[in-house]
């Protein structure tokens, strides 16, 4: 049979085999890539200068958000939760950090808080409410309501470090994320004044 094949037949056969190999490589290559190089979540500041809003109770309020991005949007990461796992405080004039003890992690709020579920599927990127600073008040992180008391506000002259954990179904975060917030006690009159008075430094490093 092979001896009877013409040059045209050989060309068609070659094209057909090549098409199958390309399809096979695309399907199984993607599966292998997804298995050994899975989707990861990245966390960055969404608006370093904050967003100035008018709070119905506290008046002018600077709101700050984090951006949670999926490195592979075609692989959705389901039931994603962003937690405060640990915190420590450096008081004004002090040289030693004080660990803030709390047994149960607190969950940050997805934005917009009125619509977003607590466990979110991240396909491309989602925004998280990190915290806010209202006139006459301390910087306050934004958590879902939870039993027990926890004071992780940033008062005038203080600095707080928030250890943030990214959780999702079947997901292991290889990095430790720390948001350090420092406030000099002055309420910024505009967004442009924020970096002078309220500094937020977000760092990520691989787990030891």
* Per-run averaged pLDDT (10 residues), the chain, 208 residues: 58 61 44 56 93 92 96 94 96 94 94 88 96 96 90 97 95 93 96 96 89
Residues 23 and 119 in one domain: no
Residues 149 and 53 in one domain: yes
Residues 24 and 96 in one domain: no
Residues 103 and 13 in one domain: no
Q: Which residues of 140-152 are buried (b: 16+ CB within 10 A; e: fewer)?
A: ebbbeeeeeeeeb
Domain span at 10: 2-36
Q: What is the pTM of this model?
A: 0.80
DSSP letter for 42, please.
Answer: E
Residues 7 and 72 in one domain: no
147: its two tokens: 């039993």
Residues 64 and 29 in one domain: no
How many domains is the chain built from? 2
Residues 51 and 92 in one domain: yes
Residues 176 and 94 in one domain: yes
Spacing of C-alpha 74 from chain mean position: 18
Which helix (H) or strand (E) is 82 found in, with range? strand 77-90
Residues 71 and 109 in one domain: yes
**What per-residue confidence (pLDDT) applies to 25?**
41
**What per-residue confidence (pLDDT) applies to 30?**
37
Residues 21 and 103 in one domain: no
Residues 19 and 104 in one domain: no
Residues 27 and 104 in one domain: no
């Amino acid at each position: 049979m092979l001896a009877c094949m013409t040059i045209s037949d050989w060309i068609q056969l070659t094209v057909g085999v090549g098409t199958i190999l390309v399809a096979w490589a695309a399907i199984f290559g993607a599966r292998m890539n997804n298995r050994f190089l899975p989707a990861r979540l990245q966390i960055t500041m969404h608006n370093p200068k904050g967003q100035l809003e008018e709070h119905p109770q506290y008046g002018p309020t600077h709101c700050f958000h984090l951006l949670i991005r999926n490195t592979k949007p075609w692989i959705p990461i389901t039931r994603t939760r962003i937690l405060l796992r640990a915190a420590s405080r450096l008081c004004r004039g002090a040289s030693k950090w004080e660990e803030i003890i709390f047994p149960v992690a607190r969950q940050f709020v997805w934005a917009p808080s009125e619509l977003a579920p607590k466990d979110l599927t991240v396909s491309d990127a989602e925004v998280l409410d990190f915290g806010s600073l209202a006139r006459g008040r301390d910087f306050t992180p934004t958590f879902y309501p939870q039993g027990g008391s926890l004071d992780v506000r940033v008062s005038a002259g203080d600095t707080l470090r928030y250890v943030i954990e990214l959780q999702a179904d079947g997901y292991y975060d290889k990095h430790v994320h720390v948001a350090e917030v420092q406030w000099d006690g002055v309420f910024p009159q505009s967004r442009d004044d924020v970096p002078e008075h309220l500094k937020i430094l977000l760092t990520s490093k691989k787990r030891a």
